[in-house]
C-alpha cells in the first residue's frame, strides 16, 4: 500500500468530499494558500466560491458556518490554531452545539470545524494549547483526534458527511508523519476505538500525538517484560467505552495519556467511566493513573515546553507504578 504524510491525507479527504458533494465548501484564514499544507491547491480545482479566505475574525466565520449549514450547505471552517476557538465560544457552544436540539431536530448543523492543536515547537502559550477536554462539557459537539494518516483521512470524510457539528483536532506535530493510506474510497465510523498495540499487563488509553509516545513507551517496556496494550479512541465524542472496558477487564490496569492539562482532562473522564462500570472496576488490580500536561500555560522555552507535556519517560513511570 502507498504511504503519504498526514497533511496530504487531509488534503485528499477535503478534495474527495468536495468532488463528491457540491454543497461542501471550505472557509478560514489563508485557506487558499494552505499555510500548513492541508488546503494547498484546492482553490485551483474548486475556485474562490468554494475555497473562501476569511478575515481574521473567528467569531464571524464560525457563525457564518452555522448559518450556511442551516441553509443546506456543508461548511468546513478552519480555525488554523485551536486556541483561537476561544474567540468564537458563543457561536460554537450556544449556536452550533444547541440549535439542532432547540429546533426539535428541524435544523441540521453539518459543520466540520478543523483546528490545529498542541505543542508544535516554541509557539508559546497562546498557540500551543490542547483544549479538547473543555468541549467534553458541551453536549451537541462531536470530537475527533486522529493520530495517523489513515485515521485522519477516513475520519475527516466521515466528519464532513455527518449532520452534526464536529470539532476535528489535528495535531501540529503529526503533519509530516508518514503512513499507509489506501487509494480507494473509505471512511471510518465515529465511536470505534483502535487497538494500536495488543498487550496483557496494562491498558494505556492515549489521544492524538500521545498515541505515538505511548507506542514508543510500550516498545521499551516490552524489554522489561511488561506487555502494554495501547488503545486509541480516535473520537472522544462519541467514545468507544466498551473497547476501553474490555481492555481494562483483560489487563486489570489503566493509564491514560493526554496532552491536555491534568485537571479536568479527558484522561480524568475516561478513568471515571471505568470506575463507574461495576464489572470493569472490579477487575482493577491497581489504582488508575493519569499522564497529562502539567497545569501551567505552555512555555516558549524549548526545555520547559518539553518538561510540561507528557513524554515516554512519564508514561513508562506510570505503567511501572501500576505494575507495582
C-alpha 91/C-alpha 149 separation (Å) is: 30
15 pLDDT higher than 80:
yes
For residue 219, give the CATH number of its domain: 3.40.50.920
The predicted structure's pLDDT at residue 35? 77
- pTM summary value: 0.96
Instruction: With respect to residue 222, please indicate whether it lies within any of the assigned structural domains.
Output: yes
The predicted structure's pLDDT at residue 298? 94
- pLDDT tens digits, residue range 246-291? 999 999 999 999 999 999 999 999 999 999 999 999 999 999 999 9
Instruction: With respect to residue 185, please indicate whether it lies within any of the assigned structural domains.
Output: no
CA distances from 131 to 115, 169, 229, 231 (A): 10, 9, 26, 21
Task: Confirm if 98 and 50 have CB atoms less than 8 A apart.
Answer: no
- pLDDT tens digits, residue range 187-197? 999 999 999 99
Q: What is the mean pLDDT of residues 199-211?
A: 98
The predicted structure's pLDDT at residue 36? 83
Report the candidate in 58, 10, 3 with the shortest Cα–Cα distance to residue 170.
Answer: 10
Are 75 and 167 part of one and the same domain?
yes
Are 130 and 214 part of one and the same domain?
no
Boundary (domain end) residue, out of 142, 157, 180: 180
Are 231 and 311 part of one and the same domain?
yes
CA distances from 299 to 121, 202, 233 (A): 10, 32, 28
Instruction: With respect to residue 38, please indicate whether it lies within any of the assigned structural domains.
Output: yes
Boundary (domain end) residue, out of 155, 180, 205: 180
- pLDDT tens digits, residue range 100-115? 999 999 999 999 999 9
Instruction: With respect to residue 40, please indicate whether it lies within any of the assigned structural domains.
Output: yes
pLDDT > 70: percent of the chain: 100
C-alpha 165/C-alpha 69 separation (Å) is: 9
| DSSP state string for 210-230 | HHHHHHHHHHHHHTTT--EEE
| DSSP state string for 84-113 | GGGGGHIIIIIIITTHHHHTTT-S----EE
- pLDDT tens digits, residue range 49-96? 999 999 999 999 999 999 999 999 999 999 989 999 999 999 999 999
The predicted structure's pLDDT at residue 147? 98
Are 201 and 133 part of one and the same domain?
no
Number of structural domains the chain divides into: 2
Instruction: With respect to residue 80, please indicate whether it lies within any of the assigned structural domains.
Output: yes
Are 151 and 236 part of one and the same domain?
no
Are 276 and 308 part of one and the same domain?
yes
Are 133 and 166 part of one and the same domain?
yes
The predicted structure's pLDDT at residue 135? 96
Instruction: With respect to residue 81, please indicate whether it lies within any of the assigned structural domains.
Output: yes
The pLDDT confidence band at residue 121, using thresholds 50, 70 and 90, is confident
Report the alpha-carbon angle 111-114-115, nearest 5: 145
Instruction: With respect to residue 187, please indicate whether it lies within any of the assigned structural domains.
Output: no
Instruction: With respect to residue 263, please indicate whether it lies within any of the assigned structural domains.
Output: yes
User: Phi-psi category of 47—alpha, beta or left, where left has phi over 0 and alpha has psi -120 to 50?
Assistant: left
C-alpha 275/C-alpha 284 separation (Å) is: 9
Are 294 and 228 part of one and the same domain?
yes
CA distances from 15 to 47, 77, 133, 171 (A): 12, 15, 29, 20
Q: Is 127 a catalytic residue?
A: yes
The predicted structure's pLDDT at residue 63? 97
The pLDDT confidence band at residue 1, using thresholds 50, 70 and 90, is confident
Task: Confirm if 255 and 202 have CB atoms less than 8 A apart.
Answer: yes
Are 174 and 208 part of one and the same domain?
no
Helix 149-161 vs helix 6-20: crossing angle, to nearest 10: 30
Are 207 and 120 part of one and the same domain?
no
Are 29 and 141 part of one and the same domain?
yes
34 pLDDT higher than 90:
no
Host domain of residue 250: 194-323
Boundary (domain end) residue, out of 121, 145, 180: 180
pLDDT > 90: percent of the chain: 95
Q: Pick the catalytic residue from 127, 132, 171, 212.
A: 127
Are 160 and 222 part of one and the same domain?
no
Q: What is the mean pLDDT of residues 151-175?
A: 97
The pLDDT confidence band at residue 37, using thresholds 50, 70 and 90, is confident
C-alpha 148/C-alpha 211 separation (Å) is: 9
The predicted structure's pLDDT at residue 172? 92
Amino acid at each position: 500500500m502507498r504511504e503519504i504524510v498526514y497533511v496530504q491525507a487531509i488534503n485528499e479527504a477535503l478534495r474527495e468530499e468536495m468532488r463528491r458533494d457540491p454543497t461542501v465548501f471550505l472557509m478560514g484564514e489563508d485557506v487558499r494558500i494552505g499555510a500548513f499544507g492541508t488546503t494547498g491547491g484546492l482553490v485551483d480545482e474548486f475556485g474562490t466560491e468554494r475555497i473562501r479566505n476569511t478575515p481574521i475574525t473567528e467569531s464571524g466565520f464560525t457563525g457564518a458556518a452555522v448559518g450556511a449549514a442551516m441553509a443546506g450547505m456543508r461548511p468546513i471552517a478552519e480555525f488554523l490554531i485551536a486556541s483561537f476557538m476561544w474567540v468564537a465560544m458563543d457561536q460554537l457552544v450556544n449556536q452550533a452545539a444547541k440549535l439542532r436540539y432547540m429546533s426539535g431536530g428541524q435544523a441540521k448543523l453539518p459543520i466540520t470545524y478543523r483546528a490545529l492543536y498542541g505543542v508544535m515547537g516554541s509557539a508559546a502559550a497562546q498557540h500551543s494549547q490542547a483544549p479538547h477536554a473543555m468541549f467534553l462539557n458541551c453536549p451537541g459537539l462531536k470530537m475527533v483526534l486522529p493520530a495517523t494518516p489513515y485515521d485522519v483521512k477516513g475520519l475527516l470524510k466521515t466528519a464532513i458527511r455527518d449532520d452534526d457539528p464536529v470539532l476535528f483536532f489535528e495535531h501540529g506535530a503529526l503533519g509530516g508523519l508518514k503512513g499507509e493510506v489506501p487509494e480507494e474510497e473509505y471512511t471510518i465510523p465515529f465511536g470505534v476505538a483502535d487497538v494500536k498495540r495488543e498487550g496483557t499487563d496494562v491498558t494505556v488509553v492515549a489521544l492524538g500525538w500521545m498515541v505515538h509516545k505511548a507506542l514508543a513507551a510500550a516498545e521499551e517496556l516490552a524489554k522489561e517484560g511488561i506487555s502494554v496494550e495501547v488503545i486509541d479512541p480516535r473520537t472522544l465524542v462519541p467514545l468507544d467505552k466498551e473497547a476501553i472496558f474490555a481492555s481494562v477487564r483483560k489487563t486489570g490496569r489503566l493509564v491514560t495519556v493526554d496532552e491536555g492539562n491534568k485537571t479536568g482532562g479527558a484522561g480524568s473522564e475516561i478513568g471515571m467511566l471505568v470506575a463507574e462500570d461495576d464489572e470493569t472496576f472490579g477487575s482493577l488490580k491497581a489504582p488508575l493513573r493519569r499522564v497529562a500536561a502539567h497545569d501551567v500555560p505552555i512555555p516558549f522555552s524549548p526545555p520547559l515546553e518539553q518538561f510540561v507535556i507528557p513524554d515516554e519517560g512519564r508514561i513508562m513511570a506510570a505503567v511501572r507504578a501500576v505494575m507495582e
